[in-house]
Amino acid sequence: MNKPLRIGIAGLGTVGSALINLIDRKQELLRQRCGRPLEVTGISARDKNKARDFEMGAMQWIDNPVELAKSDNIDCFIELIGGDEGVAKDCVVAALNAGKHVVTANKALLAKHGVELAALAEKAGVLLNYEAAVAGGIPIIKVMRESLSANSVERVYGILNGTCNYILTRMEDEGLSFEECLADAQRLGYAEADPTFDVEGYDTAHKLAILCSLAFGTQIAADEIYVEGISSITYDDIKAAGEMGYRIKLLGVAQMTDSGVEQRVHPTMVPINSSIAQISGVTNAVAIDADIVGQLIMSGPGAGGDATASAVAGDIADIAKSRPGHQHGPALGTPSEILQSYKKARMRAHEGGYFIRLTVVDKAGVFASVATRMAEQNISLESIVQHRGGKNDNNSPDTSTAQPIIMITHETTEQAIRLALENIETDGHLIGKPQMIRIEK
């Protein structure tokens, strides 16, 4: 067991560089805890001549990362390239087929090809580890794949994107618009130049698909998730939520229902005194409802070089501790050949109902008409408030006639809400688009 674990790393950006420095800095501690040294023997990236904050030393540079993945000079291949196709997939497939253990931080790759890659790992008798692919430094994959083996999970949900959580936090704390907060997030490096993947919920959806498979033993089905982002959220929504005792968060939710698995990503109003509501800034949080342990909630940094490198290093340490010939647990918690086909549930009524904000023309009878249209769809209202003198939040050219109406419904269906809103629009009362946010209690 004193033979070094030889590591090949493809992708030397923020995370790859942080990982190499971490292994060097924590070399003695890792040797003690793993029972043998960790040694980076090979590296690959697009530009060999780019300045980096680590010494290459005796590491072998290999231009083609696929060749690194198959190299006899490594035992474990680390994929930090990114992307769901192309060289990232080719590398991982090549490494698994060559009998190499694989660690990846690539959520997009796993969301699209995770079942296929898990099957390859099981066939080769090697480990496929991916702790860093979901929630950064939070060890949620290990908890779900190993620690909760005796539990049946009923629901897993959480804040899985730090960019969105940062924007919503700033909007609430400082009264800023979505656009102002997004620009600041881009300036600070929390959001990409094209932020669509983050702010429209797709990043959260990829992570949720992986957690869903671990939770329920189903095949990964990232394309079956209802996805809605935060770009439509305004400060008026956040302010109204606070006045009613709620806070808005972008949540990914997966739960087992009588009709199948329900997966959804959308802005959600949560009680302001709940644990999930306290998660601010770029922090992530994941909650699990299980039959034996009850509810678990874990929070921590969801991104960043050091946090992600820490998760990757933990996966490498697990590989270093494993013994040759030892049978490894399945990559997705359940052997790939017995993963159940994904059955999409009907979108059910959400406990706690909906928050609805309408901007309507300011004239007699509109308030009563709106309430009537809700009643026609058997929607019971917990509260309905009409604010006088409110600003038009929907960019109407005539702001003098705009008045906001805010409603909280009891439990109902999304179909009923949408039918009621269509009828209100037909009546000619709406200015701009209505806002509808689910409430989770």
Q: Taking the domains of the chain in order of start, what are their residue ranges?
A: 5-134+305-338, 142-301, 354-439
pLDDT of residue 348: 64
Mean pLDDT calculated for residue range 244-268: 93
pTM across the whole model: 0.90
Cβ-based neighbours of 283, under 8 Å, separated by 6 or more: 159, 162, 165, 299, 300, 301, 302
Residues 209 and 382: their CA atoms lie apart, in Å, by 33
- 142-301: what CATH class? alpha beta
Strand pairing partners for 340?
218
Residues 31 and 24: their CA atoms lie apart, in Å, by 11
Catalytic residue among 70, 112, 207, 249: 207
Strand pairing partners for 285?
159, 299
Q: Which CATH number fits domain 354-439: 3.30.70.260, 3.30.70.3400, 3.30.360.10, 3.40.50.1580?
A: 3.30.70.260
Architecture of the structural domain at 5-134+305-338 = 3-Layer(aba) Sandwich (3.40)
Is 26 known to be catalytic?
no
Which of 8-17, 102-111, 268-277, 345-354 shows the lowest mean pLDDT across its residues?
345-354
pLDDT of residue 400: 52
Render pLDDT for 312-344 as a digit per residue (tens, 0 to 9).
999 999 999 998 767 788 999 999 999 999 988
354-439 matches 142-301 in CATH topology: no
Per-residue pLDDT band for 429 (boundaries 50, 70, 90) equals confident
